[in-house]
Amino acid sequence: MDILLSLPDDDAASWIDELAAVLPAARVRPWRPGDRAPVDYALVWNPPMEALAGCARLKAVFNLGAGVDAVLALLAAQPDLLPPHVPLIKLDDAGMAPQMVQYVLAAVLRHVRRLPDYAASQRARRWQPLPGRDAATHAVGVMGLGALGTPVAGALAQLGFAVRGWSRGPRAVDRVACFAGTDALPDFLDGLDVLVNLLPLTPHTADILDRTLFARLAPGAQLINIGRGAHLVEDDLLRALDSGQLAQATLDVFRKEPLPPDHPFWGHPRIEITPHVAALTLRRASARQIATRIDRIERGLPIDGVIDRTSGY
């Protein structure tokens, strides 16, 4: 069995070690330009088109992360790159959900307890207690109730927040008011104090975080974007922050990564930036998951996590 790794950095060695532990009979190699050797499985993250071209023996492609938009963009440009019978498979959680929960809770609690305001007071050497905020009346909305969004919404509800969730299809989450479909989006957004975006990036969700959406939130709301950079209309965010419609934004994903040094987000006093680290893929858990699914494919059994190329998730 031949396995190809296509990664954007020098991370292949650690993946090879983890895969060797769970697939000792497999031959695992990193992709290099011009590589045309036979391959049974490809493990990719933001791969170049050449990494998947001409892989006639390919049985499946595993995406080493939660978002598959980069691969889907390649397929939109060249539909025959992966034949319909070759599944594109995403990792289910693989240790990412607890990290995402921690990230969102930290960002929401920081806003609710007004820590950025107190940091500004400290810089000004000003002793000024501020009015508190009640979690029970603080409306937090989570867009996207998949493998990551559902535990995030549940954790917020356990802390006593008034939580809403929105997804394309019906979902049920304990202690979360769930909304489904485009028609329900305005009611979901109405008066939210915090909006957390965990949607997949599809043609239907690109640019969804825009001025029209921001206007439906409570004045002084907080935005947390941990979905994809292309969900956010950047100029609309800057205008919403400058007008006071939004009080703060926590951003982990961007249209261009790394974020260019001259980007206006860097210096904005009400934007907090992290470098796409809200939830990192855990190699050992991911390798085990991949090995289990490869075993099922080899035995002709059904597998979970196959992407519907039409819907994009």
Please give the positions annotated as active site: 228, 276
**DSSP letter at 259?**
P
**φ, ψ of residue 144 in degrees (nearest 5):** 105, 110
Residues 6+ apart with CB under 8 A from 22: 287, 288, 290, 291
H or E stretch covering 19: helix 12-22
H or E stretch covering 285: helix 283-298
Tell me how far apart the alpha carbons of residues 1 and 8 are, in angstroms, rounded to a whole number: 23
Rounded alpha-carbon distances, angstroms, from residue 202 to 20, 23, 174, 199: 34, 33, 27, 9
